[in-house]
């Protein structure tokens, strides 16, 4: 613990982040924010230096007192005017680094004097030297400069102890730069085989395409020319970026800005398809760079083991589709493309401190989670339709609610099941939880809402609510990312939670028919078991729960004979518990 802490920094053209290994995992340091600091420095109305979001927000309105993309100037002998003063590129970068250093100190509660900083693979010695100087000005000794694609590869592969050689293509599209690199990792050593790209291509250009389109729309619809009006152009820029980001999720979006001129309001729809048309040429160019990188490295597409998407703009869906078409592999996007490089820098920083890391905490769910429900389709009643509530690749934490309806009058129970998988027949997926929910015998079509909450630690909370009565069932399943072995993921705790709030009879799915109620003798045994569960020893609890589950399963199969045999066994056990 005497080793001085070393932080990892992605000093980006558009955005910067800082990471630190906590225990064994690199984490982005967040101070109640998303951890992303715009690489932007400015002077505010009162003449004070500002760094980050506030500086970025004033950039279009006050360009003369804002500096953007200083990274492009690194290594050049020049001075950058800012308000009345002049600064070297290193000094401006140092202001950004200082902001990150202070944030790290605040969060870690101690002084930080050392850092690993990433730079593009093509950076010259002079540019690397300038980056080190920026660190020194900010009070950070730069213990190592590493290449951005190397950091990205470390974030993805750093935890794999495997020593077989892997060849990785890193496609990094940021705000103003595009880099594609081929890296090879072997024995935990990463080497950049080739790196190419375009340092004048990125998300800003895509925003600009949308802005130009909006300017044309305003001209055509309202005969209004806003190009000289900085305040309006600033608003169009933020609308454009917002629309672009939305189109990475949605097929269409609406851009709205009131009072562009006195009584003129902007309101236009933009489809993903139209946006793709605007940027296709640029994306095509990036694909040509991919080909060039492969050639430079002397390899063919078949040699690539993995494609990593890095940089905020790599979220544009067209990009992964085109890469997949071209290289015949699905690009990996488990690690947030905005944070990937900083996390890799954090891993390298830990190595410098002599700490072994266990890899990046994946912050998206690798699996789909859902429930089973009955549904009428063309072929009649399908009792086991898989209804996904949380889809694979969704960012965590996430919460989703679906509504279900009872199927018959007087339905008194619903079996709420949790499955992991992608198959449309729920039974082909892995069952990781099963809970009986006592209903109030209301009429068919009564509403039940089912909510899943999944957090970063793989804890899945579910809540079912009978709308009419407010009756609620809560359960918690731990460790759902370790789903390979379904029996292992259920902890006693969730089992108890589930059982203690359950009703007396069940049938799978959202819709249940009343005729399948459990015979009263079996229900009595289950009720007794629930009562004794609280006072039983931990060992007995586990056994009781297992038997209760076996009974439920037998009842589900309508094998009441088997259920009764297990009931006898359960009763024997309960007899000794007081
Ligand atoms: P840099 O490496 O240049 O510092 P980043 O990797 O932080 O940049 O990328 C910033 C760019 O990513 C910005 O242009 C931003 O608008 C864009 N971006 C962020 N999220 C998305 C998204 N979901 N879809 C498309 N572009 C995005
Ligand atoms: Mg970047």
Give the pLDDT of residue 517: 59
Q: How far is CA 312 from the centre of its chain?
A: 12
Q: Do residue 106 and residue 65 come from a single domain? A: yes
Residue pair 174/200 in contact by the 8 Å Cβ criterion? no
Nearest to 199 by CA among 94, 121, 129: 121
CATH value at residue 85? 3.30.420.40
Find the DSSP H helices in 35-173: 53-57, 89-108, 125-137, 148-157
Percent of the chain predicted with pLDDT > 70: 91
Q: Do residue 428 and residue 503 come from a single domain? A: yes
Q: Do residue 68 and residue 135 come from a single domain? A: yes
Domain closes at, from 278, 300, 326 = 278
Does position 576 have pLDDT exceeding 90, yes or no? no
What is the spatial distance between Cα 451 and Cα 430, in angstroms, rounded to a whole number?
19
Predicted TM-score (pTM) of this structure: 0.69
Residues linked to residue 308 through DSSP beta bridges, in sequence order: 170, 332
Residue 143 domain flag: yes
Q: Do residue 289 and residue 260 come from a single domain? A: no
**Comparison of pLDDT for 380 and 149, the residue scoring more:** 149
Query: Does the CB atom of residue 314 touch ligand 1 within 6 A?
Result: no
CATH value at residue 208? 3.90.640.10
Residue 1 domain flag: no
Straight-line distance from the first to the last Cα atom of the chain, in angstroms, rounded to the nearest whole number: 50
Q: Which of 234-243, 291-300, 511-520 has the lowest mean pLDDT?
A: 511-520
- Take residue 357 and report the two structure tokens written for it: 């890391």
- Residue whose Cα lies nearest atom 8 of ligand 1: it is 174
Query: Does the CB atom of residue 179 touch ligand 1 within 6 A?
Result: no
Give the pLDDT of residue 496: 33
Does position 129 have pLDDT exceeding 50, yes or no? yes
Q: Do residue 437 and residue 412 come from a single domain? A: yes
CATH value at residue 433? 2.60.34.10
Domain range for 12: 6-201+280-362
Does position 308 have pLDDT exceeding 70, yes or no? yes
At 70, give phi and psi (nearest 5°). -65, -20
Residue pair 149/192 in contact by the 8 Å Cβ criterion? yes
Percent of the chain predicted with pLDDT > 90: 64
Residue 289 domain flag: yes
Q: Do residue 180 and residue 286 come from a single domain? A: yes
Q: Do residue 110 and residue 229 come from a single domain? A: no
Residue 220 domain flag: yes
Residue pair 467/447 in contact by the 8 Å Cβ criterion? yes
Residue pair 134/93 in contact by the 8 Å Cβ criterion? yes
Q: Mind listing the pLDDT tens digit for each residue in 489-535?
A: 333 333 333 332 222 222 233 333 333 456 778 878 887 887 787 78
Residue 54 domain flag: yes
For tokens 């809540």, the residue is 463
Contacts of 63 (CB under 8 A, 6+ apart): none
Determine the residue of 9, 14, 395 to mutate for testing ligand 1's pocket, defined as the one with the most ligand atoms within 8 A of the Cβ atom.
14
Residue 303 domain flag: yes
Q: Do residue 481 and residue 398 come from a single domain? A: yes
- Residue whose Cα lies nearest atom 7 of ligand 1: it is 15
Q: Do residue 393 and residue 349 come from a single domain? A: no
For tokens 């024997």, the residue is 572
Tell me the three-class secondary structure of 176-202, residue by residue. CCEEEEEEEEECCEEEEEEEEEECCCC
- Take residue 506 and report the two structure tokens written for it: 């069940």
Residue 254 domain flag: yes
Q: Do residue 301 and residue 350 come from a single domain? A: yes
Q: Do residue 174 and residue 304 come from a single domain? A: yes
Domain closes at, from 238, 253, 278 = 278
Residues linked to residue 418 through DSSP beta bridges, in sequence order: 433
Number of separate domains in the chain: 4
Residue 312 domain flag: yes
- Residue whose Cα lies nearest atom 26 of ligand 1: it is 313
Q: Do residue 130 and residue 60 come from a single domain? A: yes
Nearest to 127 by CA among 75, 70, 199: 75
Q: Mind listing the pLDDT tens digit for each residue in 43-57?
A: 999 999 999 999 999
């Amino acid at each position: 613990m005497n080793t001085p802490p070393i932080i990892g920094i992605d000093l980006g053209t558009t955005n910067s982040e800082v990471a630190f290994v906590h225990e064994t995992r690199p984490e982005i340091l967040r101070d109640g924010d998303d951890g992303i600091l715009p690489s932007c420095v400015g002077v505010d109305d009162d003449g004070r230096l500002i760094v980050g979001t506030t500086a970025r927000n004033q950039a279009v309105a006050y360009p003369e007192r804002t500096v953007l993309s200083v990274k492009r100037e690194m290594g050049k002998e020049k001075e950058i005017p800012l308000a009345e003063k002049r600064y070297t590129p290193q000094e401006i970068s140092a202001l950004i680094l200082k902001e990150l250093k202070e944030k790290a100190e605040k969060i870690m509660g101690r002084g930080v004097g050392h850092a690993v900083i990433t730079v593009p693979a093509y950076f010259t010695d002079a540019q690397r030297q300038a980056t080190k100087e920026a660190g020194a000005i900010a009070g950070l000794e730069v213990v190592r400069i590493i290449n951005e694609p190397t950091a990205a590869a470390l974030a993805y592969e750093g935890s794999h102890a495997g020593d077989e050689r892997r060849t990785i293509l890193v496609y990094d599209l940021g705000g103003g730069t595009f880099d594609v690199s081929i890296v090879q990792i072997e024995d935990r050593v990463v080497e950049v085989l080739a790196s190419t790209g375009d340092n004048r291509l990125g998300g800003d250009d895509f925003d600009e395409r949308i802005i130009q389109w909006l300017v044309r729309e305003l001209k055509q619809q309202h005969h209004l020319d806003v190009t000289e009006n900085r305040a309006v152009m600033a608003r169009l820029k933020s609308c454009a970026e917002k629309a672009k980001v939305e189109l990475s999720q949605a097929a269409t979006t609406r851009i709205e800005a009131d009072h562009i001129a006195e009584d003129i309001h902007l309101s236009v729809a933009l489809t993903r398809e139209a946006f793709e048309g605007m940027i296709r040429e640029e994306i095509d160019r990036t694909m040509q760079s991919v080909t060039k990188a492969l050639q430079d490295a002397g390899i063919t597409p078949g040699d690539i083991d993995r494609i990593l998407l890095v940089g905020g703009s790599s979220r544009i869906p067209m990009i992964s589709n085109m890469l997949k078409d071209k290289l015949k592999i699905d690009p990996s996007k488990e690690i947030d493309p905005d944070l990937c490089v900083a996390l890799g820098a954090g891993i390298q920083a830990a190595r410098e401190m002599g700490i072994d890391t266990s890899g990046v905490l994946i912050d998206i769910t690798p699996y789909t989670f859902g429930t089973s429900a009955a549904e009428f389709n063309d072929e009649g009643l399908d009792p086991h339709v898989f209804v996904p509530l949380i889809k694979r690749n969704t960012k965590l934490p996430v919460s989703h609610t679906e509504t279900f309806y009872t199927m018959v009058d007087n339905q008194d129970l619903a079996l709420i099941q949790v499955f992991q998988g992608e198959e449309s027949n729920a039974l082909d997926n892995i069952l990781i939880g099963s809970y009986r929910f006592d209903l109030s015998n209301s009429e068919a079509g009564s509403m039940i809402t089912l909510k899943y909450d999944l957090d970063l630690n793989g804890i899945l909370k579910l809540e079912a609510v009978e709308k009419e009565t407010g009756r609620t069932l809560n359960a918690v399943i731990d460790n759902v990312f370790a789903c390979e072995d379904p029996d292992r993921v259920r902890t006693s705790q969730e089992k108890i939670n589930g059982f203690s709030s359950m009703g007396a009879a069940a049938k799978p799915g959202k819709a249940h028919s009343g005729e399948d109620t459990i015979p009263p003798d079996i229900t009595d045994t289950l009720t007794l078991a629930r009562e004794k569960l609280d006072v039983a020893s931990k060992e007995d609890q586990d056994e009781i729960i297992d038997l209760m589950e076996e009974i439920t399963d037998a009842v589900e199969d309508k094998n009441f004979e088997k259920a009764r045999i297990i009931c006898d066994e359960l009763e024997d056990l309960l007899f000794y518990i007081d």
